[in-house]
Amino acid sequence: MSLHKSLFALALLLGPAAAFAHSGHDHAGVLAGMAHPVFGLDHLLAMLAVGLWAAQQAGAARWALPLTFVASMLLGGLLGFAGMQIPLMETGIAGSVLAFGLLVAVAVRLPMAPALGLTALFALTHGVAHGLELPALFSPWSYTLGFVIATAALHASGYLMVRMLPQAAAPLLRLVGGASALAGVWLLAN
């Protein structure tokens, strides 16, 4: 895949998110669950960045980071369904955009335990937010399936972007990480 095509695909993927923010909650079940992470710019950027960061890793971290995110987010979703709120949840979500963007920008390889801990903590905030936004009268299980599918797809998209780009595009990925980090700063300020 050429660099030009990759940039075009990235623009198409990110373009609708800015326009729709957290819309899509008028859908039922699985679609409502898929809409929240895909159309929420904060969720979209963090989840793509997890996939980008995972692809920059070696060994087990490549699959452990996204899997940890999804598992911890699922736990957070269950807590959100129960009505549990966590302090500074929105700050944690915005902080995840900043942190994961920075991790991609500097292509850092943390030791496994801190990398998984950081990923799990941020994923928990995303999950609680998803759980608290369960549309009335919808099955929490189909909604959960939707946000798990969307999250895994976003992680896979980020991962595949890194893996399909030529090695010469590594600086571009760092710029994408930097842009995500700047978006995180903007989200924290607002």
**Tens digits of residue pLDDT in 86-144:** 999 999 999 999 999 999 999 999 999 999 999 999 999 999 999 998 877 678 889 99
What would the two tokens of residue 130 be? 């998803």
Can you tell me the distance from the alpha carbon of 143 to that of 36, in angstroms, rounded to the nearest whole number?
10
3-state secondary structure of 137: coil
Residue among 141, 190, 174, 146 nearest 49 (CA): 174
Say yes or no to pLDDT of 46 above 80.
yes
pTM of the model: 0.83
More confident residue, 168 or 51: 51
**What angle is formed at CA 94 by the lines to CA 51 and CA 68, rounded to 5 degrees?**
40
